[in-house]
Amino acid sequence: MFAIYIFIILCSVILIAFTIQLITNIYNVNKTNASYSPPKILFLTILISLILLAFFSKELNIKYFIINSLYISLLILIANIDANSKIIPNKIVIIGTILSVIIFTFNTDSIQDNSKSLILESLSGLSIGFGIMLIFYLLPFTRIGAGDVKLSALMGAISGFPKILFALSSGIIFAGIISIFLVLSKRKSINEDIAFGPYLCAGTAFIIILEDNLSNIIPTLY
């Protein structure tokens, strides 16, 4: 069974990396200030994410692994585009959000309930994620963009409620730590804008990877 996972992971990583790079290049083509992530970095990011997903799963369930691999791939795609082009594509976020609500009902390995409850959980996460980030977006002198607000809705659809709260918190913490490092190392100035999307995506991926272990970390989530 473990050998099957290794084969699936390797095939998935190659296919996902190629697809993400192709789509990212499409969004970069009209951006004169766009940057490009090295293919090796993208490949390693996907590979490490899927290995961690398999490692932290309590049971080697193929359906569970495939669904969450799709979630992580979508998040890496959005993070890669935002990091390179400083945009979060509406089409990808909207389609991803709709599909995530639908797919959420089939991902029942960690939440034993009926379909209606699962849909409600996903929609609740969507609404709360969108609402929280909308409040921050409306605050004066905010550096959060409209794309980050829509991305938070997608995060909520993927993680559901109450795990969206932990996903947002994780993303904000990641952004804070990396931003401090970049400023102290003088790679970024304190007034320079930093793409927030990749950190939000990282927070959600963190939730997905550790989902089976969250009940031990934060019992109130279950």
Are 53 and 68 a contacting pair, CB within 8 Å?
yes
> Which run of H or of E encompasses 84?
helix 62-85
pLDDT value for 7: 74
pLDDT value for 41: 80
Closest CA to 149 of 159, 158, 136, 161: 136
In this predicted structure, the answer to whether residue 219 has a pLDDT above a threshold of 70 is no
* pLDDT tens digits for range 151-185: 999 999 999 888 899 999 999 899 888 888 887 88
Check the CA dihedral 76-78-25-179 and report its sign: negative
Helix runs in 109-196, H state only: 115-138, 146-159, 163-184
pLDDT value for 132: 93
**To the nearest whole percent, how much of the chain has pLDDT over 70?**
80
In order of 6, 37, 73, 177, the CA distances from 106 in angstroms are 23, 33, 18, 35
In one-letter notation, the amino acid at residue 17 is A
pLDDT value for 51: 82
pLDDT-derived band at 32 (thresholds 50, 70, 90) equals: very low
* pLDDT tens digits for range 197-217: 899 999 999 998 887 666 565
Crossing angle for the helix pair 146-159 and 115-138, to the nearest 10 degrees: 160
Closest CA to 91 of 179, 157, 154: 154
Mean pLDDT estimate for the chain: 80
Q: Which whole number is the average pLDDT over 1-13?
A: 71
pLDDT-derived band at 74 (thresholds 50, 70, 90) equals: very high
pLDDT value for 214: 66
In one-letter notation, the amino acid at residue 107 is N
pLDDT value for 110: 43
Domain ranges of the chain: 2-221
pLDDT value for 112: 45
Q: Which whole number is the average pLDDT over 15-40?
A: 68
